[in-house]
């Protein structure tokens, strides 16, 4: 099915220049002079590269059907990540490069969405919010308050995020996994 730029939505997958690309961001621009255009950020599925493109409103693209399959993350053996289909109990191994940044939010037995496009696995989407324990951070000092600065903290998965000064080692935090991870609250 062909779609045009006014139908773009974030997360939609299109065929562009013979490659499958996910629309990461788009903006319809109507300059004071000249025709309108659409400015986009597209992520190539095969390479993971993010590229910016500008399109005219009349440009058409083939839509790629993206499906999500709920799977359970089992473990990482050092060379591959192992997942199990929660319906059929089939197990699959996925390459660390395929997992990408999602690996910093994965805990054993966690349920994730594995994305497929035209039958090919294209990515792993962790839950929007995860609860992880702080394994390393600088100690808080007397007088540190809820308002104010931040410090780096290493989580049990190895991810490093910015947290408020009052957070200590061993505390469980709720993290928003979108946009590189953001501290929400202590749990």
Are 2-64 and 66-125 equal in CATH topology?
A: no
Domain boundaries of the chain, sorted by first residue: 2-64, 66-125, 129-186
Please give the pLDDT value at position 91.
93
2-64, what's its fold? SH3 type barrels. (2.30.30)
pTM over 0.75: no
Q: Averaged over 33-38, what is the pLDDT?
A: 89
Contact of 182 with 105, CB cutoff 8 Å? no
What count of other Cβ atoms lies within 10 Å of the Cβ of residue 123? Answer: 20
Residues 130-180: pLDDT tens digits? 999 999 998 866 555 556 688 899 999 999 999 988 889 999 999 998 777
* Closest alpha carbon to 164 in 179, 152, 154: 152
- Please enumerate in sequence order all residues whose Cβ is within 8 A of that of 155, keeping only pairs 6 or more positions apart, or say none: 104, 132, 133, 134, 135, 161, 173, 175
Contact of 47 with 58, CB cutoff 8 Å? no
Please give the pLDDT value at position 1.
67
Which CATH code is given to the segment(s) 66-125?
Answer: 2.40.50.140
Please give the pLDDT value at position 171.
93
- Minimum mean pLDDT among 10-14, 82-86, 150-154: which range? 10-14
Looking at domain 129-186, its CATH architecture is Beta Barrel (2.40)
């Amino acid at each position: 099915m062909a779609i045009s730029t006014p139908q773009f939505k974030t997360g939609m997958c299109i065929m562009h220049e013979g490659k499958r690309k996910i629309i990461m961001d788009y903006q319809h621009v109507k300059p004071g002079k000249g025709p309108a255009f659409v400015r986009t950020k597209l992520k190539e599925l095969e390479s993971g590269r993010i590229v910016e493109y500008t399109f005219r409103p009349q440009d058409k693209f083939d839509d790629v059907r993206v499906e999500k399959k709920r799977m359970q993350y089992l473990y990482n053996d050092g060379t591959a990540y192992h997942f199990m289909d929660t319906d059929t109990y089939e197990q699959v191994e996925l390459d660390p490069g395929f997992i990408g940044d999602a690996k910093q939010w994965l805990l054993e037995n966690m349920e994730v969405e594995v994305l497929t496009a035209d039958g090919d696995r294209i990515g792993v989407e962790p839950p929007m919010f995860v609860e992880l324990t702080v394994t390393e951070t600088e100690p808080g000092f007397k007088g540190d308050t809820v308002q104010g600065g931040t410090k780096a903290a290493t989580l049990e998965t190895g991810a490093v995020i910015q947290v408020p000064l009052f957070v200590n080692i061993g505390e469980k935090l709720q993290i928003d996994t979108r946009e590189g991870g953001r501290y929400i609250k202590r749990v």
